[in-house]
Amino acid sequence: MLLDVLQRGGTEAYRWTAAPDQLVDQYFEGECPLLGEAEETLLDMVEHAENLVAHFNDHIELAGRTATKKRKPALPKPIDLEAMQETAQPSADELVRTLVDMAQAEACDMMGEKKQALAFAERGL
């Protein structure tokens, strides 16, 4: 249970950091599109997730060393942060596509291009 929660939370945190990174490279010429406080909050969230995973992995290692020979409990495998980042990448790519579609829809709407705006919005949903 805890293992699943940590993996889902960490993957989600990596998803939300990968998306702005892609947007920075593609559309914002190196400038982060997030406002300062949002960027700091996101980075703090990732740091906390990584600390929780490290703490979890340390406890697994310690429990494995202190388990008695007679009764060795089945321990979960340590969480791999790199695998978590790789798992997050496809959903981050999808998030970027959705955000770009919604931005294009809004831009078209502002310019009075209602049909084109609707087409972008439908594609983004």
Strands (E), 1-125: none
Q: How many domains is the chain built from?
A: 1
Domain boundaries, position 117: 2-124
pLDDT in tens, 23-41: 988 888 888 888 879 989 9
pLDDT at 67: 64
What is the rounded average pLDDT for all residues in the chain?
87
pLDDT digits (tens, 9 = 90+) for 48-100: 999 999 999 998 888 777 766 666 667 888 999 999 999 999 999 999 999 89
Q: Report the candidate in 19, 17, 94, 27 with the shortest Cα–Cα distance to residue 49.
A: 17
Task: Using alpha carbons, list the distances in angstroms from residue 8 to 14, 105, 119.
Answer: 10, 31, 32
pLDDT of 91: 93
Q: Give yes or no for a contact between 120 and 102, defined as CB atoms under 8 angstroms apart.
A: yes
Given a contact cutoff of 8 angstroms between Cβ atoms, the answer to whether 73 and 63 are in contact is yes
Measure CA of the first residue to CA of the last residue in the chain; give whole Å: 31
